[in-house]
Structure formats: structure tokens, C-alpha cells
Amino acid sequence: MKKQKTKVGYIAYQTTREEICRLGGLGICDTCNSPEGNGYLVPILNRWLCPRCYEKWEVEAVYYAEDIHIEQKNLKYYESIIPLTDSNEKAQQGGHLKPFRILGITPKGTCTECATKHAPEQPHNQQSLTYQYKFYDKHGRWPTWADAMKHCPEEIKNYWVEALKEHGIEVTA
């Protein structure tokens, strides 16, 4: 998904059919109902347009500053679901779980990786479905406890390895 400014100052995204499917769309223009491989997601309209309808709308569009809060709300949501194509190649391809979508939204105050409340230096919750599916989408394999602790300082890793061992879980690197 590529972000761009329209001629009047709104935001629009160039998207593929595969990307729009992550938002629950089908790659069918919301204006003329034609199936397309590529199109434009327009946050201010909350619509996906084929190239012909987008060009027509862009010529006719009028900018209303009082509507920007609607555009901002929609673009924040879109960007949480579909990564911008300027990021990494794997994000452009859709990850290992393509064509399924991984929701990027976690409850407020929780870790964005595992959706669990924990201090940043503590391990991710390896049992969290959020963590497991995000990890699988990125790496193509299920996470281990070693993966969940990779970012932790050595003393915290050692503490968790011992605590898990007491519960019969062997952690190997």
C-alpha cells in the first residue's frame, strides 16, 4: 500500500486487490462495481475506487478541513492492517499467513507484540495467540520461549529459564 496526497490535499493509498482483501474488501470498485487488480483506498470517503473512478473523483473533490478527523481515524485503522510498501519486502508480500490478515490492534496498555501487560524488559507471552500468529507471519515458524525472551537482558532470561524449568519446560537457544 503506497500513501499519496490527492490534488486537493486528502490522503489516498494505491493498493492491490490482495491488500484490500486484508480489510475485508474484494477488489471491486465501490463506485462502479468493476473488479480490479489495483485501485485506490480513499480514507475521507472510506471507499476503494478503481483507477477510472479515482481519477474522476480527484477532479471533482472539494477539500473540507472540518472532515480531516474522519480521514485521520480511517487512515490510522488502514495502516494498522496493511503495511505501507516503503517498509520491508516481507510486509509487501503479506507475510507467511497471506492471504489471512493479522490485526495489528492490541488492547490499550498492552505489549504490541503479545497483547499482554508486561514490562519491556520481560519476555513476551509465548502462549499468547497474538504473539504466536504475529511471530509465525513474520518468521514462518511458531515461536519458542527462547524467541519470546530474545530481547531480554541476560539476568532476566536466566531467571525465566529457571522458572520455566521448575514447570517442566526446557528452554533451548
Question: Model confidence over 74-125: pLDDT tens digits?
Answer: 988 888 888 787 543 344 445 667 666 666 678 889 998 999 999 999 999 9
DSSP state of 124: P
Rounded Cα distance between 118 and 154, Å, is 17
pLDDT at 101: 63
Give the least confident one: 7-11, 64-68, 92-96: 92-96
**Mean pLDDT of the 126-140 span:** 89
| Predicted pLDDT at 136 | 87
- Whole-number average pLDDT of the chain: 87
> Taking the CB of residue 56, how many other CB atoms lie within 10 A of it?
14
Which 3 state secondary structure label does DSSP give 35? strand
CA angle 101, 105, 111 (to 5 degrees): 120
**Which pLDDT value is given to residue 26?**
87
Share of the chain above pLDDT 90, in %: 64
Q: Among 82-96, 129-143, 146-160, which stretch is predicted with the lowest mean pLDDT?
A: 82-96
Q: What is the pTM of this model?
A: 0.51
Q: Are 38 and 21 in contact (CB under 8 A)?
A: no
Among residues 51, 34, 31, 54, the alpha carbon closest in space to that of 42 is found at: 54
Retrieve residue 76's grid coordinates: 490510522
pLDDT for res 30: 95
DSSP code, position 67 = G
Q: Measure the N-to-C terminal CA separation of the chain; round to a whole number of Å.
A: 36
